Amino acid sequence: MTFEVDFEPLGRRLPCQSGETVLAAAQRLGLVLNATCGGEGVCGRCLVRIMAGQASPPTPTEEAELGGRIANGWRLACQAEIQGDLRVHVPPESLATAQRTQTEGHSLPITPHPAVRAVALNLSAPGLDDLRSDAERVRAGLELPDLTIPLPVLGTLSNDLRAHDFHATAFLRGTALVGIRQVGTAALGLAVDLGTTKLAGYLVDLASGETLASAGAMNPQIAFGEDVMARISHAITRPEGGQQLQMAVVTALNDLARDLCARAGHTGLDILDAVVVGNTAMHHLFLGLPVRQLGLAPYLPAESAAVEVSARELGFDFAPGASLHLLPNIAGFVGADHVAMLLGSGMLDREGNVLGLDIGTNTEISLLAGESHYACSTASGPAFEGAHIRHGMRAAPGAIEKVLLRDGNLLLQTIDGRPPVGLCGSGILDLVAQLRTAGIITSRGGFTPGLSHPRLRAGGSSPEFIVAWADENEGREITFDRRDVNEVQLAKAAMRAGIDILLARAGIAEQEIDTVIIAGAFGTYLDVRSGTAIGMFPPLAPERFAQVGNAAGAGARMALLSMEKRKQAAEIARRVQYVELTIEKDFSARFARALLLE
């Protein structure tokens, strides 16, 4: 028999034979699900959720792997066989890296109520008997005597009115004129997640809420320093340093916006509004604000409230009256991107105690417990971005993204299925978890003394683990040694100590956490079981974790589309109790304890 299977949220469907596995059907569609074990049911990474329809009963493998989650429809795609029409949800963490971005860009479940509205403008043409100025004519036509017209709009108003013969669409933000455009022109907005490493841009139709195009780009400020502190230092120590950094990112965002517009068949002039989120340092450097006080204790932002500035003033080729809205910052190291993550992850709407992590070079952590909301930032370092790891790399084709050590065999999954080039964050985390679980390394991070293993080789000062042999991998050897393990320990200890401090502050035990939300690129790709295995996360069942992808980007889009969400962002920033870890007397002790891989 033939059935139809729908894959959500990708919106793809195909006819399938009875008895075909969901994994096989997905592969026929070109969907690359994680399947490190090759579909043998042992790696547990091809997790899907049957939303409707008939599949084969769960296998013992699945029961061991998934436990109670089966009741909610969770299955392993390699085990579940199609026995009727199916609707299958594929969570982003089950997709191989290269395909994950496809889940982005979908319209958000939000009723658009944007800052900018369209109004029909039908004016009588001027003549010797009607000598009103163009601006007064528009004010009268819109019946808005208090209409303000920013200088850049006034600079094109006369020509725009005449180009459209005094019949056009006026776009307004409150009582301010944003621009005059041809009747029928779409109102577009741009949402930007301004990361230390990467920029993400989303071109959104403000009326429908639809994301028309999205794209990422490297943050060109990297040329001036890899992390936030290096950039702050550049801005402080060079006379034009701050301006250099600002210009670099403005230029890159202008290019990104131009590219998005071109792909959607629009021009920058169609962008009427924009929302930008980033950590506090990125926020300040983008606006050209001083960062000296941000780089020195007590690390204060110049501004924590939401900022609204003219896009033209910052150098953007958008509609002449377009604004940039920057969401509020919480503290010097918990910025607008965390506020956006809180919005975009939906974690504020969850029941119970919710822990939220946005993992990056700095990891921001929020804990919602009852009426309280605590947040902190912790310097987890760039290990999970592949930096400071000997064979580490960014998540790019050829990066090992999944690792499974089974019966002495090391199974690797790489991005795009290319021959391994190095290890990206999720692969590094998997590898350490697998080495620890197999007893190859101790809880202190060293290789177990006296252990012999076919992939262990005596290195310079200490042994190293061979991830890929040169002779089996086109001459490219990939190894992992104690220093690499130590980098992971530092990163995970920073996160775990931050989590523990917040739990203590809220007075709840780790088992009382109902949901752990994990956001960010690495957060989407990591295997939570690896995270719990090495104690990076509290020891909770996998089903309590939700990996939400680029929630900051989603939050930026929500704030772009909804004035209510902007208000909510302001409330969040006001309500959060920021916890400065460096002055918590327990922090050092907790950090030291969290260094253990257990």
- Interatomic CA distance for residues 209 and 107, integer angstroms: 6
**Size of site (CB under 8 A) for a copy of itself:** 43
| Residue of 297, 286, 382, 370 lying closest to 331 (CA atoms) | 297
Could you say whether residue 588 binds a copy of itself (CB under 8 A)?
A: no
Could you say whether residue 239 binds a copy of itself (CB under 8 A)?
A: no
Residue 246 or 380: the one with the smaller Cβ distance to a copy of itself is 246
Could you say whether residue 287 binds a copy of itself (CB under 8 A)?
A: yes
Residue 155 or 352: the one with the smaller Cβ distance to a copy of itself is 155
Helix and strand numbers, DSSP H then E, in the chain: 18, 26
Could you say whether residue 293 binds a copy of itself (CB under 8 A)?
A: yes
Residues with Cβ within 8 Å of 198's Cβ and at least 6 positions away in sequence, in order, are 216, 217, 218, 219, 521
- Interatomic CA distance for residues 193 and 252, integer angstroms: 13
Q: Report in angstroms how near the CB of residue 173 gets to a copy of itself at its nearest.
A: 15
Binding residues among 88-127 for a copy of itself as defined by CB under 8 A: 126-127
Q: Report in angstroms how near the CB of residue 563 gets to a copy of itself at its nearest.
A: 17
Residue 321 or 422: the one with the smaller Cβ distance to a copy of itself is 321
CB 556 within 8 A of CB 202: yes
- Interatomic CA distance for residues 561 and 585, integer angstroms: 42
Binder to a copy of itself among 136, 564, 571, 598 (CB under 8 A)? 136
> What helix, strand, coil percent values describe the chain, rounded to 5?
35, 30, 35
Which of these segments, 298-306, 396-404, 416-424, 551-559, binds a copy of itself (CB under 8 A)?
298-306
Could you say whether residue 262 binds a copy of itself (CB under 8 A)?
A: no
Q: Report in angstroms how near the CB of residue 140 gets to a copy of itself at its nearest.
A: 12
Could you say whether residue 567 binds a copy of itself (CB under 8 A)?
A: no
Residue 499 or 579: the one with the smaller Cβ distance to a copy of itself is 579
Q: Report in angstroms how near the CB of residue 271 gets to a copy of itself at its nearest.
A: 19
| Residue of 138, 518, 555 lying closest to 336 (CA atoms) | 555
Could you say whether residue 131 binds a copy of itself (CB under 8 A)?
A: yes
- Interatomic CA distance for residues 331 and 151, integer angstroms: 34
Q: Report in angstroms how near the CB of residue 134 gets to a copy of itself at its nearest.
A: 5
- DSSP run (H or E) holding 557: helix 551-561
Residue 152 or 381: the one with the smaller Cβ distance to a copy of itself is 152
- Tokens encoding 518: 């994990």
CB 572 within 8 A of CB 343: yes
Residue 228 or 289: the one with the smaller Cβ distance to a copy of itself is 289
- Interatomic CA distance for residues 546 and 356, integer angstroms: 9
Query: Could you please report the per-residue DSSP string of 304-362?
Result: -S-EEEEHHHHT--S-TT-EEEEPPP-BTTB-HHHHHHHHHT-GGGSSSEEEEEE-SSS
CB 354 within 8 A of CB 540: no
Could you say whether residue 159 binds a copy of itself (CB under 8 A)?
A: yes
Which of these segments, 295-303, 370-378, 483-491, 524-532, binds a copy of itself (CB under 8 A)?
295-303
Which of these segments, 131-139, 363-371, 411-419, 562-570, binds a copy of itself (CB under 8 A)?
131-139
Binding residues among 532-551 for a copy of itself as defined by CB under 8 A: none
Residues with Cβ within 8 Å of 508's Cβ and at least 6 positions away in sequence, in order, are 353, 369
Could you say whether residue 135 binds a copy of itself (CB under 8 A)?
A: yes
Could you say whether residue 289 binds a copy of itself (CB under 8 A)?
A: yes
Could you say whether residue 238 binds a copy of itself (CB under 8 A)?
A: no
Could you say whether residue 250 binds a copy of itself (CB under 8 A)?
A: no
- Interatomic CA distance for residues 142 and 8, integer angstroms: 45
Which of these segments, 30-38, 110-118, 446-454, 576-584, binds a copy of itself (CB under 8 A)?
576-584
End-to-end CA distance of the chain: 49
The pairing of strands 409-414 and 577-578 is: unpaired
Residues with Cβ within 8 Å of 143's Cβ and at least 6 positions away in sequence, in order, are none
Give Rg (Cα) of the chain.
Answer: 26
Could you say whether residue 155 binds a copy of itself (CB under 8 A)?
A: yes
Could you say whether residue 232 binds a copy of itself (CB under 8 A)?
A: no
Site string for a copy of itself, 300-329 (x = CB under 8 A): xxxxxx-x-x---x---------------x
Q: Report in angstroms how near the CB of residue 34 gets to a copy of itself at its nearest.
A: 42
Q: Count Cβ atoms below 10 Å from residue 510 Cβ, excluding itself.
A: 16
Residues in the chain: 598
CB 216 within 8 A of CB 200: yes
Q: Report in angstroms how near the CB of residue 291 gets to a copy of itself at its nearest.
A: 9
Could you say whether residue 229 binds a copy of itself (CB under 8 A)?
A: no
Residue 313 or 564: the one with the smaller Cβ distance to a copy of itself is 313
Residue 157 or 204: the one with the smaller Cβ distance to a copy of itself is 157
Could you say whether residue 288 binds a copy of itself (CB under 8 A)?
A: yes
Binder to a copy of itself among 38, 67, 290, 446 (CB under 8 A)? 290
What is the side-by-side strand order in the sheet with 271-278?
Answer: 211-218, 198-205, 188-194, 271-278, 323-326, 307-310
Binder to a copy of itself among 18, 72, 158, 511 (CB under 8 A)? 158
Binder to a copy of itself among 2, 72, 124, 133 (CB under 8 A)? 133
- DSSP run (H or E) holding 405: strand 399-406
Residue 85 or 586: the one with the smaller Cβ distance to a copy of itself is 586
- Interatomic CA distance for residues 235 and 241, integer angstroms: 4
Could you say whether residue 134 binds a copy of itself (CB under 8 A)?
A: yes
Q: Report in angstroms how near the CB of residue 135 gets to a copy of itself at its nearest.
A: 4
Binding residues for a copy of itself, rule: CB under 8 A, are: 126-128, 131-136, 139, 149, 151, 154-159, 162, 287-290, 292-293, 297-305, 307, 309, 313, 329, 331-332, 578, 580, 583
